[in-house]
Amino acid sequence: MNEKVLIIDDHTLFRAGLEDLLVRRGIEVVAAVGSGQEGLKCVGELKPDIVLLDMRMPEMGGLTVLSQLKKAYSSLRVAMLTTSNAESDIVEALRSGAQGYLLKDMEPDELVVALRSIIAGDTVVAPELAPILAKVVRGEAIPDEKEVNPFSKLTPREYEILTLLAEGQSNKVIARNLGISDGTVKLHVKAILRKLEVSSRITAAVMAVEAGIKRKS
């Protein structure tokens, strides 16, 4: 089975990495585009089996794109691929017709299994989000969440280092820029990952980019 995937994600490095990952596992990526408008155009032309859609994008967010895709192509399989594990985002995506809700720090093989399951007709969410899916299936009310800023837990120094991670700087470069040791940078990065509840510096950087976090000039 040669699955055809369309990727819609505004983060260039993540998009390129994901395309490479899928191609290496024998999945055809018909296009990888950086905006919802481009994605909507590509679906009609390329007829993918599934769309992998980012949640947070400028101009046209993922939920808006999802709604338009479902209106125009009701049988098209769409999976959100995001850093957000907020219940409100998950519920809104599933209720808007997404067949999957996957997290960007999933293991590559887990992602491929999930994609194939969704194409086969299943609804799949990242394993740690399964209890929320169960609530939706049972029709239980999900309480409205206040918008929580995940970066509010960071110290000023951690926040500063996160902005440098988002610029793609290595630990050595960060250490040189801030006048601290590599070891101190490593400790700060560990603390950042723990507080943001992610497992890799790339995911933390993507979160920062998506949130528009920049170094103060």
Q: Which domains does the chain have, with CATH numbers?
A: 4-138 (3.40.50.2300), 150-210 (1.10.10.10)
Residue 105 and residue 131 in contact, taking contact as beta carbons nearer than 8 Å: no
The CA distance from 57 to 209, in Å, is 10
The CA distance from 104 to 102, in Å, is 7
Q: Which of 63-77, 109-123, 166-180, 193-207 is the least confident region?
A: 193-207
> Between these two residues, 49 and 215, which has the higher pLDDT value?
49
Condensed to tens digits (0 to 9), the pLDDT of residues 80-103 reads 998 888 888 888 898 889 999 999
Q: What angle do CA 65, 68, 71 make, to 5 degrees?
A: 150
The CA distance from 126 to 114, in Å, is 8
Predicted confidence at residue 145, as pLDDT, reads: 47
The CA distance from 208 to 217, in Å, is 17
Q: What is the CA radius of gyration of the chain?
A: 18
* Residue whose C-alpha is closest to residue 83's, from 128, 133, 124, 49: 128
Q: Which of 39-53, 90-104, 126-140 is the least confident region?
A: 126-140
Which residue type is seen at 125?
Answer: V
Task: Count other Cβ atoms within 10 Å, centred on residue 179.
Answer: 6
- Does 52 score more than 50 pLDDT? yes
Which residue type is seen at 75?
Answer: S
Label residue 169 exposed, middle or buried (CB < 10 Å: 0-12, 13-18, 19+): middle
- Does 131 score more than 90 pLDDT? no
| Beta strands 100-103; 77-82: pairing state | parallel
Give start and end residues of each alpha helix (H) in 47-107: 62-72, 87-95
